[in-house]
Amino acid sequence: MIGRLMTMTAHPGRGGELTDLLLRVAERLHGFPGCEIYLISQAATDPDTVHVTEVWRDDASAQAALAAPPPPDAPTPAEVLALVSAPPDRVDLTVLGGVGLPADGRP
């Protein structure tokens, strides 16, 4: 399994709009093959700091989600990026296991 941690900083006061868009992305990924976790969070002390935690069965699953044609009402990457004040920070991970993962949580 692979994981990604994304941190985005919204323009001041726009964290709620950013989370709304990202939650719509999460809805689209519900049940998508290979998407194990797609979690949207805000920093408790700064609602303009938004985190996306992703766990995918493998890189091919993550790439398939990116390549899939979005529904007509889905947020575009441009809409998301218009709300952030700097490029998102991304950390790629090798997922070793844990609570909330399928079966025993092992790849």
Q: In the chain, which ranges are continuous DSSP H helix?
A: 15-29, 59-67, 77-82
| pLDDT number for residue 103 | 66
Q: How would you write the pLDDT of the chain (107 residues) with one tens digit per residue?
A: 999 999 999 999 999 999 999 999 999 888 899 999 999 999 999 999 999 999 999 999 999 998 888 888 888 888 999 999 999 999 999 999 888 887 655 44
Query: Does pTM surpass 0.85?
Result: yes
Query: What domains are there in the chain, each with its CATH number?
Result: 2-94 (3.30.70.100)
**Nearest C-alpha neighbor of 63 from the set 35, 40, 88, 82:** 35
Report whether 5 contacts 51 (CB < 8 A): yes
Q: What is the pLDDT of residue 100?
A: 83
- Residue 5 sits at φ, ψ, to 5 deg, of -115, 120
pLDDT at 76: 84
Query: Residue 67 and residue 92: Cα distance in Å, rounded?
Result: 19
